[in-house]
Structure 1
Amino acid sequence: MKFHILITEDDENVANGLSDILKSYGYQVSVSDNSADTIEILNRENIALVILDVCLGEDSGYDLCKKIREFSDVPILFLTGCSSELELIRGFQVGGDDYVTKPFRMQELLVRIQAILRRSSLNKGEYYQSGELYYNHFTHQMIKGKEALPLTSVELKIAVLLLKSWPNTITRKDLLYHVWDNDFQFVEENTLNVNVSRLRDKLGTFEEAPYITTIRGVGYRWAVSVKRYQKPC
């Protein structure tokens, strides 16, 4: 499983350098330099860990951590230039899971990241319910009734992106980018149409309505309400 890490850091050089290193270790990485974008990414993407700088220009990493804790228990690792005991305690009090003091040793940061992700994977799973469907993030299965649907990897990616984005619409361009990554510019438009059509057939309907609806000229939207759980439904 490829963990998705969000770096919230307003120093572009630090953020880009850290992003490049984490990608070289096989992590998927997103970068934000402010609170609003961080919250938007957390609501849109399946983030496994937030690396959060305590000082974000006009924003406070501590304040952002408290906002995140209002809707998510995603692990948060603080980057801080202060090693005082009071500051470290404050980080834990607002909901942080760990901290690394700047300037940090990359190997130490990697070990701490691995430990946090390991604990998170063992202690919880994310489950989504929509109509008669259940999705388990850690087993990567879409369940209907008591059976896993036979979805291809592309179909599952499309389904999960739409499911987690409910009630928002995802544009065709964004779907192509997230499903096919760097090869999306070589994928024909009809390929997406065919995969969505096959996915609809496999998902079936709920109360006589399809799970996925087409927003003409824009993209697609998951049409049935979604509930998120931290343990099995």
Structure 2
Amino acid sequence: MEHILLVEDDKAIVMGLTYSLEQEGYQVTVREDCPSALKVLEEKTFDLCLLDLTLPGGSGYDLCRRVKELGDTPVIFLTAMDDEVNVVMGLDMGADDYITKPFRVRELISRIRSVLRRARRGGENSHQLTIGSLLVNTQEARVWRQGEEVFLTALEYRLLLTFLNHPGQVLTRSQLLEGIWDVAGDFVNDNTLTVYIKRLREKLEDNPQTPRIIKTVRGVGYKLERGAKA
């Protein structure tokens, strides 16, 4: 049974998340402030940490820093701050993912599963995902194409990560919107999704007019080709 540390001071969120995670078969340890979380990190080993950014006695950044000093336990941030600076700062510190409140529990559980799958692969490459000539370092939130770094916005990066977490799988527009909705909230709708797909293709594809990485599946959605070449 995988053991998750949940550090959150909102009792309603704690109750709902603990119940949902336990129903999914996870063991959950809860702490509500930074000092007690730091203490339990010294005493126990966890498979994943869910860390609120704003906590009594410190911050999720403090906890993430200590988690990464102790090993390579995956970290997902729970945050009410959806601006790009805070997102990138957390990823730069080694966080594996983040989700913005209010979030959908099923989406968080999906992300937990994805992060744990990557962690189970082990080794220093567990944060490196490749597809064709693309290299994505999820620990640093950086992307390279044919050896040159590609600069993506937070929403473009989230969209790419959603595809990378489901290689070869056809994703409906609704599924993609669920994967990125927390970055821009109500500003992301079905029409703007088309715009972001177009922007992502322009940055990643050799010929965006005939995409070979992010393919359109007419009448259904999109998919990331497993063996794509940019």
Give the equivalent residue in structure 2 for 1:113.
112
TM superposition shift of 1:66: 1.5
Structure 1 residue 94, shift from structure 2 partner: 1.7
CA distance in 2, matches of 1:108, 1:79: 12
C-alpha RMSD of the superposition: 1.6
Matched with 2:59 is 60
Q: How does 1:1-233 map to 2 (within 5 A)?
A: 2-124=1-123
How many angstroms does 1:82 deviate by? 1.3
Partner Cα distance (1:9, 1:27) in 2: 17
Measure, in 2, the Cα distance between the counterparts of 1:49 and 1:68: 10
The 4+ residue runs of structure 1 with deviation greater than 4 A are none
Residues 52-99 of structure 1 show CA distances to partners (whole Å, capped at 9, x for unaligned) of: 000103411112212222222211000011111111001111221100
Residue 21 of structure 1 aligns with an amino acid whose one-letter code is S
CA positional deviation for 1:44: 2.3
Runs (5+) with no aligned partner, structure 1: 126-233
In our comparison, the structure showing a higher alpha carbon Rg is 1
Q: SS at 1:37's partner residue?
A: helix
The percent of aligned pairs where both chains have the same amino acid is: 40
> CA separation of 1:3/1:109 partners in 2, compared to 1, >3 Å: closer, same or farther?
same
Q: Write out per-residue CA displacement over residues 117-156 of structure 1, whole angstroms, 9 at most, x where no aligned residue.
A: 111111259xxxxxxxxxxxxxxxxxxxxxxxxxxxxxxx
2 CA distance for matches of 1:9 and 1:72? 21
- Cα distance in 1 between the residues matched to 2:66 and 2:109: 26
TM-score (norm 2): 0.51
1:199-233 residue CA offsets vs partner (Å, 9 max, x unmatched): xxxxxxxxxxxxxxxxxxxxxxxxxxxxxxxxxxx
Runs of at least 5 residues in structure 2 that lack an aligned partner in the other structure = 125-230
Q: Distance in 2 between matches of 1:71 and 1:121?
A: 17
The 2-side partners of 1:10 and 1:104 are apart by 16
> Normalized against structure 1, the TM-score is what?
0.50
Paired letter, 1:29: V
What is the number of residues matched between the two proteins? Answer: 124
- Supply the distance in 2 between the matched residues of 1:46 and 1:63 (Cα, whole angstroms): 18
* Distance verdict in 2 for CA 1:124–1:38, change over 3 Å: farther
Aligned amino acid, residue 78 of structure 1: F
User: Contact 2:34–2:56 (CA<8 Å) still a contact in 1?
Assistant: no
Cα contact 2:5–2:29 (8 A) shared by 1: yes
